């Protein structure tokens, strides 16, 4: 067993990482405290392995593993929402402040240039991916200057390649430093083309969908020199054609639109007019003059000490995202929203004869994709009045008898099921361009099965099931909190929490499956399974439906 302190003493990199961690939350970081107190860290047992991906039993619990599952709560969430909707309430940096923050980050806070550049480039790439999908904006030209801004562009291009884009690089004045040479080598290893200024087409609109302006950052002074002066003029012309709604690549500027004054913006009104600006660390003063549709903040590395020193008001990053939008997104024509699905074909030969097996295959794919709550399903019911209603519930079991979920037996859906025990389920897995419809009859699961599942849930969820008289009208949220506190006190000794009689599970027995796979030009694959009897044996008939 290796003691942590000697190991850390040997590593300058590790000491820098500890310094970075300490400025974010020094009292709450066990590793940092152990390092300073020379205490051998506790070795925690490994987490339990994930459940097998076989058919789920009715008692199986499926957790969503979303890439953005964390949420912002409380006062900070409200403040962040205000900042995102109102760009005037955000903090903007002048040139001196921006330079001072960089000095602090790369000085006492232990960040290196390559660390910050990697985070900045990743932030740019994720911001672009939020708005411009590779299916329609795949060809990206990154024009990179000789400084750190150019390095951000090189890193962004590498990430864009891995995101499914086709980047091209124009890097006319290469910096002869190991960091930049390494970035070039990384891109060359991915076969990303480098274009000289002479190789660039006269008309960008026929060759590229996006042009990334990574030429000059906030530390640039003076007038642009060749060849960047002509390149900036080309981007100005592109921005003007976009303003006239002509077919033209969109422009994404990193931190500062090249040619702008860092604090005063496009002073002469003849500068680049980017469609997207990705501010890094915090927006610079010139960003107040940005009038394009998409403004994002990236560079998720600002610790509380810097926020306090410079009195920064910045939006919180949602979940695990590397970027956050500033200001409201532009209003769009809903009728113009469309997605051209690109997916492998789903043929009758590929489909399993058993729809339960086919569903499990697709469910396993959804789990493996990492999407949030792949077990979420829309449940549609109707009562005797014939009026349908739908809501999202979570699949909690799948066996030969059907699909299982749990709910309050006094809810609206439960009353409708009691009047009309027929229902429909819909799973939608957008990351895979797939959906599955299931229709059939519904009945309650056994009391024993409900009891077993109830006690497998976290105690907070057990108490929540008692607190919530689902669908009942209540005077305010305080009623829920008060009842929750009473129950937590009542069962604080760890005694078992009894399952309420009005809570339990339902099982839908399928009488129809439909598997949908999105395809280009709306020519989707739709395979329907319906039961039929052949020689006294129940089998499933597979039919292709017109999309």
Residues with catalytic annotation? Answer: 522
DSSP 40: P
Q: How far is CA 174 from the centre of its chain?
A: 34
Binding site for (6S)-NADPHX: which residues? 148-152, 217-223, 255
Q: Would you state the torsion angle of the CA atoms of residues 425, 428, 429, 434, taken in this order, to the nearest 10 degrees? A: 100
Binding site for K(+): which residues? 149, 213, 258
Sign of torsion over alpha carbons 254, 259, 260, 266: negative
Binding site: which residues? 148-152, 213, 217-223, 255, 258
Contact of 282 with 218, CB cutoff 8 Å: no
Owner of token pair 């024009």: 143
Of 294, 278, 327, the residue nearest 142 (C-alpha): 278
Residue 495 DSSP SS3:
coil
What end-to-end distance do the CA atoms of the chain give, in Å?
61
- A 10 A CB-CB count for 362 gives 19
- A 10 A CB-CB count for 380 gives 18
Contact of 223 with 258, CB cutoff 8 Å: no
Owner of token pair 């980017």: 274
Question: How many helices and strands in the chain, by DSSP H and E?
Answer: 15, 16
């Amino acid at each position: 067993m290796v003691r942590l302190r000697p190991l850390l003493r040997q590593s300058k990199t590790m000491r820098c990482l500890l310094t970075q961690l300490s400025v974010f939350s020094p009292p709450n970081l066990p590793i940092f405290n152990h390092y300073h107190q020379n205490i051998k860290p506790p070795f925690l047992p490994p987490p339990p392995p994930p459940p097998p991906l076989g058919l789920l039993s009715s008692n199986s619990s499926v957790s969503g593993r979303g890439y953005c599952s964390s949420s912002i709560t409380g006062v900070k969430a409200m403040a962040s929402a205000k900042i995102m909707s109102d760009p005037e309430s955000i903090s903007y940096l002048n040139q001196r402040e921006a330079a001072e923050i960089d000095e602090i980050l790369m000085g006492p806070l232990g960040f290196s240039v390559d660390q910050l550049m990697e985070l900045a480039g990743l932030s740019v790439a994720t911001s672009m991916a939020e708005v411009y999908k590779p299916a329609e904006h795949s060809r990206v030209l990154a024009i990179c200057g000789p400084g750190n801004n150019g390095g951000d562009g090189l890193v962004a291009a590498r990430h864009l390649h891995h995101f499914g884009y086709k980047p091209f690089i124009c890097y006319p004045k290469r910096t002869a430093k190991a960091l930049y040479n390494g970035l070039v080598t990384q891109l060359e290893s991915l076969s990303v083309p480098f274009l000289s200024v002479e190789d660039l087409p006269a008309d960008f609109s026929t060759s590229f969908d996006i042009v990334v302006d990574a030429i000059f950052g906030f530390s640039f002074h003076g007038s642009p020199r060749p060849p960047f002066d002509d390149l900036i003029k080309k981007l100005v012309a592109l921005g003007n054609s976009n303003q006239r709604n002509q077919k033209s690549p969109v422009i994404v500027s990193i931190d500062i639109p090249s040619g702008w004054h860092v604090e005063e913006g496009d002073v002469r009104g003849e500068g680049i007019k980017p469609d997207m600006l990705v501010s890094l660390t915090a927006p610079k003063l010139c960003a107040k003059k940005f009038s394009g549709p998409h403004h994002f903040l990236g560079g998720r590395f600002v610790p509380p000490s810097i926020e306090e020193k410079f009195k920064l008001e910045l939006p919180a990053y949602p979940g695990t995202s590397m970027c956050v939008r500033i200001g409201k997104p532009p209003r769009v024509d809903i009728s113009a929203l469309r997605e051209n699905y690109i997916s492998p074909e789903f043929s009758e030969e590929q489909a399993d004869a058993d729809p339960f097996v086919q569903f499990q295959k697709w469910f396993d794919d959804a789990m493996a994709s990492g999407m949030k709550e792949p077990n979420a399903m829309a449940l549609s019911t109707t009562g005797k009045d014939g009026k349908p209603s739908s809501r999202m519930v979570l699949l909690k079991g799948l066996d030969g008898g059907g699909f299982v979920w749990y709910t309050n037996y006094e809810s609206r859906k439960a009353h409708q099921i009691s009047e009309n025990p027929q229902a429909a389920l819909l799973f939608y897995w957008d990351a895979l361009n797939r959906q599955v419809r299931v229709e059939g009859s519904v009945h309650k699961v056994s009391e024993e099965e409900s009891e077993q599942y109830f006690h497998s849930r976290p105690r907070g969820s057990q108490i929540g099931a008692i607190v919530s008289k689902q669908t009942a009208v209540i005077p305010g949220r305080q009623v829920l909190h008060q009842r929750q506190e009473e129950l937590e006190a009542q069962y604080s000794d760890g005694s078992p929490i009894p399952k309420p009689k009005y809570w339990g599970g339902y099982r839908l027995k399928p009488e129809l499956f439909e598997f949908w796979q999105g395809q280009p030009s709306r020519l989707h694959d739709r395979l329907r399974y319906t039961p039929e009897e052949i020689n006294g044996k129940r089998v499933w008939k597979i039919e292709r439906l017109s999309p």
